[in-house]
Structure 1
Amino acid sequence: MVQFIHGADLHLDSPFIGLKSMPSFIWEAIYNSTFQALTNLVDVAIEKEVDFVCLVGDIYDNDDRSVKAQAYLRNEMERLNKYHIPVYLLHGNHDYIENQGLHLKMPDNVTIFGEQTETHWLTTKRNERVALTGFSYTERWVRERKITEYPKKFAEADYQIGLLHGFSEGLESEHGNYAPFSIGELKSKQYDYWALGHIHKRQQLSEHPPIIYSGNTQGRSSKENGPKGCEWVTLTDTKEEIIFYPTAPIQWERIELSIKDLKTLNEVYQLIQETITHKKNKAYSLFLSIALKDTTTLLEGVRKKINNGELIEALQQIPKETGFVWVYQIELTTDKEEKTTYVQLFPEEWQKALKEIEQEANFNELTNSFFDYAEAAELLETRDQLYREKILENAKQQVQFLLGFEGSDENEN
């Protein structure tokens, strides 16, 4: 039997661009979240007394890794060293190996894979021979099929683990197509487990052998919602057991909230506060996006206070506490019966404008400038059909607001 931790995409020292206009204690919590996630991963490894730890790429957020991030990683690796837990680490497209003279030396228990695919051997306390095969990126764009360099399982290995930071062909993902591979290629190597990195969404591509993207250890934006963590893996001659352990101190979540039959500001505010109370927990803090639906009875004055940010500003007055809930977005969804009010004013012009902007080429041309900046692009979603529909729906609501429509309650006063 062999036991180990599989983690990836720590992105230590992520900048979290666009999230600084918030109370200092919340900013500090989100900034430190990637570091705390690593500490939580190490805690699991120590608690479970694992044989080793695999960290599969993008340990740092960029190749110009900060001294703080390096020192933090070094300290956490030293914690593992005190418990005689070895670490097998490789670098990915974000933190590719460069400027070696600017790197802090890691403790002796840390093995860092080089630029060529290589295999390192470990003998566990139960005298089992484990082979670990992988490579580190030496540049951001690794396009070749590095999987072809991985050897087949060695006959003398009781277990062989493949570590690969790359892209599974056929997978729908916004992440770059780096070091591509197919599931068939991985299975052909006859390894006992494939520890994958690069894709931030946790997913299991195969059960036998287990082929798993552990996902990142801390979500860095609303695109990376839900629990984030690492895998505790147990392999025996006859079975595999994989248990997910959450490590993220902050989670992102988007919910829909019906405000059917609600009219006043107080009613909406009270409902949201009750929702926030229900969402609070001690295990993690929450960044919450709320989409309000069934809005036909809502007073127009309340709509304005939601659209101009007054309501969210009030909800963001929260005390410093463990397990906080930070509402970072409130949206009003448009009901079908409301959509005709502003269309009726300019039926031909409105339909013409919609038809033009809905075309992918036109939409991309108008939004290209946002994606020209790498830092901003990290915050944006991919420009697929669902993304375009979401942007257009928000634009329609803004048009309605600016034109001063009163929707279904226009005769209330």
Structure 2
Amino acid sequence: MKLSVIGCGYLGAVHAAAMASLGHDVVGVDVDEAKIAKLAAGETPFFEPGLAEILASGLESGRLTFTTDMAAVGDADVHFIAVGTPQRKDGAGADLRFVDAAAHSLRLYVKPGSLVVGKSTVPVGTAARLAELFAESGARLAWNPEFLREGFAVKDTIEPDRLVYGTAAESKEEDTAILDEVYAAALDAGTPRLVTDFATAELVKVAANSFLATKISFINAMAEIAEVVGADVTQLADAIGHDARIGRRFLNAGVGFGGGCLPKDIRAFAARAEELGRGESVAFLKQVDEINLRRRQRLVDLVVESFDGPVYGRRIAVLGLAFKPDSDDIRDSPALDIAVRLNGLGAEVVSHDPEAMDNARQMHPQLTYAETAEQALAGAEAVVLVTEWAEYRQLDPETTAALVSRPVIFDGRNVLDPAEWRAAGWSYTGMGR
């Protein structure tokens, strides 16, 4: 099929390259000239495992092109809107300026009978409003929320765990057939498909993220109790995770969640519920957010308390800057936030991350960055592990002890073996252990 993808950020670039890898002809459009130039040259503007390979393959095959000219989408049968919806600067709601700008620009070039498909995460009610806009151009609208996990985005696009189509009642069969053709490979592989109305499709993504965020904050709340009574929250999570109704995934206590989805999505959901007069229905999300943010300060407090006196001038190695491993995304990153907070207290913070340091430098040039983990560890009086990259999880405690001046480690993700590190002479502190 001939597809267009409007917005070539994290979601759009992955979607465009993945669709081309499935055999579709795809044109990606973005107003950012530098980003488009990179993508057209086969360079990924961010780190995502597997993206470089399918990007290069799509460009080489001729099935994938990138441009800043919206007129290039005129021949496409299906148009995906994949622009960002960040948190508004003046409140907790979603900033829809990019979605609206993309829609208003796109409607001038869509041909009658074509299908516009929203993938951006938006407040409920957005799709119905945009459907009226595109109807003026003779196009129809569907909503197809994304469920990408950073670090697994390519796989999640090509082999999704479910497909959700939100359609207008009057064009349900026609729009479903078109989307089935787009996602034929996934459907042939047995991917579940749900066809809903607009509002349900819009709610699916924010509801899913709200549930996951709640699960993470729940176990972090249990970690706060475990610290007081001397329990081990990791064993607690193992025990309750065996209950099939609960499950073990997303029950890892630590410094909490971050990134470009969960934090802003739960805030936008709560803000939209307030607008609908149902704020009390999701009032618990404010507590979820507060617990999450509180865990960052708790780790900072633990580090400060470990010193006999002020933290000012003390050399602290911070391992990790991205909000999660296998990503260079520092949006709302607990790891970067903790490094900044320690630096603000006067500590000599030396940070390292395998992929996120360039992004971190641009946002926080005041921090010191080491090119290797070993350089960050050299002479450190405390080590703070806050992004669970494989190379950090695999650190040898005895070899690492020879690099630091004071063997004190804070495991902000509870991924190290406390007994192994303590046996090597380390003072080990986890979160809720």
Per the TM superposition, whether the score is higher than 0.5 is no
- Whichever structure has more strand as a proportion of its residues is 1
- Whichever structure has more helix as a proportion of its residues is 2
TM-score (ref. length: structure 1): 0.36
TM-score (ref. length: structure 2): 0.34
